[in-house]
Chain A
């Protein structure tokens, strides 16, 4: 099992929009390596004939009738927003100058 590299952590951090310092990249690379190593033991136990599990319960086709249920009020919906304007969620600039 090859180790998780610093570059891979940097890539993940970028995708997750997390700003990590140099020493944090090293630190998390080691930690992620341990975690993945632990999870990898599962594949030692599971043979080819065991399909990957995405859901713990053997359920299918849980569906909902197409019936309208009450929504939150705009005030409730926006109550957790750090900023709002015109009854909308206000978010920082999306594109920087380029």
Chain B
């Protein structure tokens, strides 16, 4: 691999990498606002300027400038090297680049930073970006001088609604155009643009349009400052109070890698942020996915239910025992869920094995909207995982047909979701127990519902449409009386008179390795959390 030198450190690069990209890959950060690995480089923020030393037997490009001399009390002529934006300058073999070690670069960074903050309102106390703002970080890192301009800064529109999801503050904007480029290049909907020039510049929505579509929240995420804020997260929390769990979005089969931010003090879910993974979602997530953090609380099974009435878990298990205790174990049908983790499904699959039952079915949410950017039509996060676990499992339609034909009388199901709302055939069953995190057609028809933990409340493995096995960390504590699905399957097994072969998550995980599911592939190993 060809290499170049950055501050004396050897940095490898691939053909076509800019200096900043190669440095980023090598773990060296060159400060930047407008550069984003997933977008084009306009080089308009000038924060990533570096000094590129001339090759042997070449002269450096020098600029004649004047500099204020304190002793002389006058300007004097000096020469300085022409600095280059590292986001646009391609890395070449043997090149020598100076960043931290060049006084010219250090001076330029402080200058750019001061310039960007010239008209900044410094309303950090009421800005949602505070704590994760590049302006704050770089001021501390590269400027550290108080403001020299004491005139009233230029005022521009604040709290401009760009649509249903985004609010824009022109005063905080550094005009990096990341949001504009994102809408142009990734979302393919060039609805944002700029108007005016210089310090009057502002980002606008095309006349007659508003910022809409499936990728509007990403504009907020790419914004390096607090100019764009999400209406959903606006004023909800200060980011330094939040904890983050590395998880996988449950919205569809793409399985976008995400950071799940929650307040550990109140156990409250607050937002999703995309987690970079070149192999899955690159740097992006869709709006539906970003807002699906709300599923932690919305539409949840509040506690154990018997006949739709809330009861204690023990009471629900007793009821299940009554219904299933005298039934021949091998006649019980098991319904796996593509919306639950591999661990939960494996536990149920194992229970089916222990019962010597071959009647396996799969349920999941119905298909929905899809596009060719990220959104997959399959709205289940683990379809591939369940398919790999139980390739012979029959569809939900088969379950309905078998139930109405009387072939299946007792069912133990995972999840409340079903591909269809029409589940009257389940009413003919003599016993239907479901272990579900969210309500759905199956929980509506079930005799006994056991409250399972949602994806973020217990660590779980999910296999996306590409067949990549990804681990999701535990974030918030389980809501109410809910418990991890695999644990509930174990309790249910004991209730119906079967000794489960697992007691801990470790047991389930070791069984997971033993099953036919392939081990994580190299790209997904990067994706899965440590």
Co-assembled chains A and B: no
Chain A residues within 8 Å of B, Cβ to Cβ: none
